[in-house]
A and B are shown apart, each in its own frame.
Chain A
Amino acid sequence: MEKQLYTVTVFSENQVGLLNQISIIFTRRCLNIESLSVSPSSIEGVHKFTITCYSDRVMMEKVVQQIEKRIDVLKSFLYTDEEIVYQEVALYKVPTERLLDETQLEVIIRRHNARILEITREYTVIEKTGHSDETEALFEELKHYDIRQFVRSGRVAVTKSPVEYVDLFIEQQNRRKDIAE
């Protein structure tokens, strides 16, 4: 089956050890997590994980089901790139004196829509947001200026769907809670 990059989002309660519970589901199936980002979500007390992984759909659907089976996971979803708006941020640390020699610097910054975060005598930090091919393109260009450090964040993503499924799930569960009590 054809492999492609999938984005998995996970909404969980804020409990210790959730990250381990989720990551071992990938480990057990010999799947490499390409990127991972975790943060509080827009819903109070709910954490959001965004995970990317190369695999086939059948495998990824099983992974998402296994994640959702964990007790403290509220919901988990599987997306292809077409179904989401996603972004990453990259930082490049470059020696300042090399940049000063470069007449094209302004052109590079403009063309890549990057920005400079900090300049000291020793180094300059450039920031670029975009998809990985875009941050990669800037990396390729800045390579000539002796990049000292380069870091790229995990992907963050929001869905294109007009329906907010997690909100609906929590509403439904609140009704169940009233019945249970």
Chain B
Amino acid sequence: MSEKITGAEALIKSLIAEGVDRVFGYPGGAIMPVYDRLYDYTDQLKHILVRHEQGATHAAQGYARVSGRTGVVIVTSGPAATNTITGLSDALMDSTPMVVITGQVASAFLGSDAFQETDVVGITQPITKWAYQIRRPEDIAWAVARAFYIANSGRPGPVVLDFAKDAQNGLVEWSHEKCNFIRSYIPYPEVNRDDVAKVAEMINKAERPLILSGHGVMISGAENELAALAEKADIPVAATLLGLSTMPSAHPLYKGMLGMHGNIGPNVNTNRCDLLIAIGMRFDDRVTGDTSKYARQAQIVHIDIDSTEFDKNIKTHATIHGDAREVLTQLLPLVKEAKHTEWLKTFDECDAVEKERVIKREVFPEEGLMLMGEVAHKVSAATDDKAVLVTDVGQNQMFSSRYFRYSLPKSIITSGGLGTMGFGLPAAIGAKMGAPERTVCFFTGDGGLQMTLQELGTIMEYGTAVKIILLNNNFLGNVRQWQEMFFNARFSQTPMINPDFVQIASAYGIKAENVESREQLDGAIERMLAHDGAYLLNVSIEATDKIFPMTPPGAGVDEILITPDEKYQLS
């Protein structure tokens, strides 16, 4: 008989057995037994003390997305648990493996409105892959193993373990139980050979094929297989926001980003291709625009590990249910070598217009205040296009993701589905911790930065070398753009009176400088990247800067504005 240990210690041993060496968290009453045991395990399990529980979840997300490992969060009950809701919802939308452990009142008090009691499982069931309440110490080994298996298999997602205080204190004989099978759960479906053969034939017959590469390609690590397929059959590739960096920006077959503010070529050609091959993406409305006008001329193939995505938003002609890497590996030998030279040229025509009408004025302006696009372009170039880009949400997100260039996989971390302002700063901390060898550049706005600003304290405490580029226009810029374009320029509650961000950063011991004119920009970027540690650039941005191209809400994917009042015309 092995020695009995407390449930709290069993949790910690289970986490270590799952390969966890870092958790993001915040202590409190109902989780104190766990924190007490943690005190003896800090050599094996590093705890990052965030400044707000929401920050813990986003940091875990950043960590998970840059490394592919499951992000782990430990918080107490009640308000701490409810503070994790935004991160859980974000992680579900963006398929991020995360295990959140919440303290809970002792099981005898459940349902009595005890101090800091809240119905965590009830609240989180709609926004998690699995939520479970541990009421007995005997269930810990099983529940933790199951949680990690569920979170990081198949289509990844967040899991909640709500841990009653008496189960933390109770004694149990613990031994690790590995979970690699759940009867009611098939994370990796067997790929149907007939489906693969059918799609291969469709690809072989296609004259104007187009691949849409999504987050699923990144999650399954199918970047090489994607490139091999595209090269063999000479198929252009476009990426969703979360699929950026699944193909290097410099690859000749990479044709840019999809979506509302994506590149003209892939958006317009979505409605000119004869075969659309969507891989690991979910036809989000920001990608499709008006679905009734979306790729009506094309045969649509959808490859995804989650079959509930098939025909959810866009009706398909063929599907392959399975892991992207496995599917692409099976497809490759069946696909014939081909050339689509004429078709590929049509992207160049779009690119030329975009370069002349949009990119030139955004990236190479000659006068006035700085623009977001030029800053992103310069930072990317200064990192040799090798940095991890973390963004907040809004114009800063669209400009930086558009004008960054990607040469390595897993190089973008952004809140795509949920669009969570305040995501960026903690996510950047987690990303730097998950990939310490890489430069992490965090682009944010003055609005989003202030939503989770307190995490500067986390940067200070752990010396996390995040490069913060604050695109400061003293406006909630994206809303301002919509107000200007669609609400008669009535700037309702979008101008912001801001603090002195350099002083704030300095108070946290973070090097910072104001960049007020174009002449200062190159030098400031150089100093930021050369500095061994965190750095903040407060960049003064022209408030009227607007993100284009733009598919306005309700329009078709090829109805693209290149200025507020000029549509892109097919030549």
Contact = CB atoms under 8 A, between A and B. Distances in A.
A129 to B, nearest CB: 32
B126 A74 contact: no
Contacts of A16: 133
Interface residues of A, number: 23
Given A17-B131, A69-B308, A71-B130, A177 B181 contact: yes
A124 interface: no
A28 interface: yes
A71 B308 contact: no
Given A16-B133, A21-B125, A74 B312 contact: no
A81 interface: no
A24 B122 CA distance: 10
Interface string B157-199: 0000000000000000000000011111110000000000000
A173 interface: yes
B181 A180 contact: yes
A158 interface: no
Given A62-B308, A69-B306, A69-B308, A74 B184 contact: yes
Contacts of A66: 308
A88 interface: no
Query: B122, B183, B185 — which one has the most chain A CB atoms within 10 A of its CB?
Result: B183
A181 B181 contact: yes
Interface residues of B, number: 20
A65 to B, nearest CB: 4
Contacts of B129: 71
Contacts of B125: 17, 20-21, 24
A71 B183 contact: no
B308 A28 contact: no
Interface string A63-100: 00110010111100000000000000000000000000
Interface centre among A24, A62, A71 (most CB of B within 10 A): A71
A11 B156 CA distance: 23
Among A17, A66, A74, which residue has the most Cβ atoms of chain B within 10 A? A17
Contacts of B121: 17
A180 B180 contact: yes
A74 B183 contact: yes
Given A16-B133, A21-B125, A71-B150, A170 B307 contact: no
Contacts of A173: 183-184, 186
A52 interface: no
A132 B11 CA distance: 51
A70 B387 CA distance: 37
Contacts of B133: 16
Nearest to B122: A20
A134 interface: no
Nearest to A64: B308
Interface string B125-139: 110011101000000
Contacts of B185: 71
A65 B129 CA distance: 14
A20 B119 CA distance: 13
Contacts of A17: 121-122, 125, 131
Contact of B181 (A20, A21, A176): A176
25 contacts: A13-B184, A16-B133, A17-B121, A17-B122, A17-B125, A17-B131, A24-B126, A28-B126, A62-B308, A62-B312, A65-B307, A65-B308, A71-B130, A71-B182, A71-B184, A72-B184, A74-B184, A173-B184, A173-B186, A176-B181, A176-B186, A177-B181, A177-B183, A180-B180, A180-B181
The 4 A-B residue pairs with the shortest CB-CB distance in the complex, in nearest-first order:
A180-B181, A65-B308, A74-B184, A71-B130
